[in-house]
């Protein structure tokens, strides 16, 4: 890629809410890339992740995908685990106080984050740092100096704080420290580029850049990424809303969930969670617009690209074949997991034994929702036992052949 192609690739999927600001960041990125090339060094790029939960979904991986793109172009990437900022919890996208986690909870979640991140990023090219390394040593005097760069009005005009203030809900003083801490992270990492979602616009564009300049460093470039919608194509992906695509699932489930998104959501999914370049995405979009590519084929390409990124090309191909056999041909996948069970096992027990469900309550709920079939027949009694060997189906995408 030439310099302009690199900028287009790295700015893909960015949103600033202001085209002038977006152009400013693109220009700064181009200039910094040019300078680094002349100096013979790589850009120093980072993104911070607060391990507030252990289970990630596809939306959490958007900044990881961007970090991978910087790695592909030879830049130095740091995966910053916010084991100290997690003690506060980022208030940026919340309309209420985040619960504070214990150090033990944070450490356990951080381990899971790193493991899941390396399904996208190149482990050997990724530096892992923890911001407690420098934040734990800040003095009260340091905090006063950092805080002197901001006014209370700047915080109270932020949408999430403003809503709570107007409702009479508390806005705690320690929540304002979060932006200062994140800005200090950027300074300590001597970052050229910081990546975050649109909910991080204030933390990166205002706090980090201002603190870096205050401390005598060149301000970093903000790569602000759009928020991935859930499978409904509208609302931000969230486990609590049930519109998420989990990472710790299987290829067939991931492929099927991507195929369930509306056509209108394909462009943002292509830009935020696939490895395709801007020209490749434009070719697909032009094809759909002109009719030379069917939207179904574009979505299958999308599902295949995303699934392959997590499970490999071979598993993605199997998932696609299973999807086609099941939903487009109306049949049962040819390749099925085979599990040996006892004829005395109930359907409820078999759902657990075969890992089609993770708990008895989930199994009962699925049966109540008419989501369980045996050889095509609806199962309504969880205590029923199979009269013969056959295929047990849970939900739309999970099948297992049971034998005695």
CATH fold, domain 251-328, is Tyrosyl-Transfer RNA Synthetase (1.10.240)
CATH annotation of 337-403: 3.10.290.10
pLDDT over threshold 60, residue 92:
no
In this prediction, residue 56 carries a pLDDT of 82
Domain boundaries, the chain: 3-225, 251-328, 337-403
In this prediction, residue 96 carries a pLDDT of 47
Contact partners, residue 385, CB within 8 Å, separation at least 6: 343, 344, 345, 346, 347
pLDDT over threshold 60, residue 364:
yes
Residue 343 neighbours by CB distance under 10 Å: 11
Q: What is the pLDDT of residues 294-321, one digit of tens each?
A: 999 999 999 999 999 999 999 999 999 8
Q: State what percent of residues in the chain have pLDDT above 70.
A: 94
The residue ranking higher by pLDDT, 86 or 261, is 261
Same fold across 3-225 and 251-328 = no
Residue 138: exposure state from Cβ atoms within 10 A (0-12, 13-18, ≥19): middle
Name the pLDDT band for 94 (thresholds 50, 70, 90).
Answer: very low
In this prediction, residue 89 carries a pLDDT of 57
Cα 194 to Cα 135: distance, rounded to the nearest angstrom: 18
Query: Architecture of 3-225 per CATH?
Result: 3-Layer(aba) Sandwich (3.40)
At CA 52, angle to CA 46 and CA 53, rounded to 5?
A: 110
Would you say the pTM of this structure is higher than 0.85? no
Q: Mean pLDDT score of the chain, rounded to an integer?
A: 88
């Amino acid at each position: 890629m030439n310099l302009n192609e690199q900028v287009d690739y790295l700015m893909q999927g960015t949103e600033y809410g202001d085209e002038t600001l977006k152009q400013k960041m693109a220009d700064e990125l181009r200039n910094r890339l040019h300078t680094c090339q002349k100096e013979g060094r790589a850009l120093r790029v980072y993104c911070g992740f607060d391990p507030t939960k252990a289970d990630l979904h596809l939306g959490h991986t958007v900044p990881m995908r961007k970090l991978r793109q910087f790695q592909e172009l030879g830049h130095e990437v740091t995966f910053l685990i916010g084991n100290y900022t997690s003690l506060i919890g980022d208030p940026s996208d919340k309309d209420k106080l985040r619960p504070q986690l214990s150090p033990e909870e944070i450490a356990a979640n951080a381990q899971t984050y790193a493991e899941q991140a390396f399904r996208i990023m190149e482990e050997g090219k990724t530096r892992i740092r923890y911001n407690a390394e420098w934040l734990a040593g800040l003095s009260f005097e340091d905090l006063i100096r950092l805080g002197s760069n901001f006014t209370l009005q700047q915080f109270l005009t932020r949408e999430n704080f403003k809503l709570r203030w107007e409702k009479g809900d508390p806005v705690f003083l320690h929540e304002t420290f979060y932006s200062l801490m994140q800005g200090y992270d950027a300074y300590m990492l001597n970052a050229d580029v910081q990546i975050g979602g649109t909910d991080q616009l204030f933390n990166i564009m205002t706090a980090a850049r201002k603190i870096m300049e205050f401390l005598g460093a060149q301000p970093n470039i903000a790569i602000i990424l759009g928020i991935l919608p859930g499978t409904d194509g509208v609302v931000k992906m969230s486990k609590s809303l049930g519109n998420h695509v989990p990472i710790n699932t299987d290829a067939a489930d991931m492929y099927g969930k991507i195929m369930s998104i509306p056509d209108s959501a394909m462009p943002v999914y292509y830009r935020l969670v696939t490895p395709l370049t801007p020209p490749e995405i434009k070719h697909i979009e032009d094809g759909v617009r002109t009719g030379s590519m069917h939207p179904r084929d574009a979505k299958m390409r999308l599902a295949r690209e995303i699934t392959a990124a997590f499970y490999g090309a071979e598993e993605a191909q199997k998932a696609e074949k299973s999807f086609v056999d099941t939903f487009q041909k109306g049949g049962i996948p040819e390749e099925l997991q085979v599990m040996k069970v006892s004829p005395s096992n109930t359907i409820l027990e078999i759902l657990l034994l075969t890992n089609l469900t993770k708990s008895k309550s989930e199994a009962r709920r699925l049966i109540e929702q008419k989501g369980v079939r045996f050889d095509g027949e609806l199962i309504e009694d969880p205590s029923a036992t199979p009269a013969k060997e056959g295929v047990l189906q849970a939900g739309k995408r999970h099948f297992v052949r049971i034998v005695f």
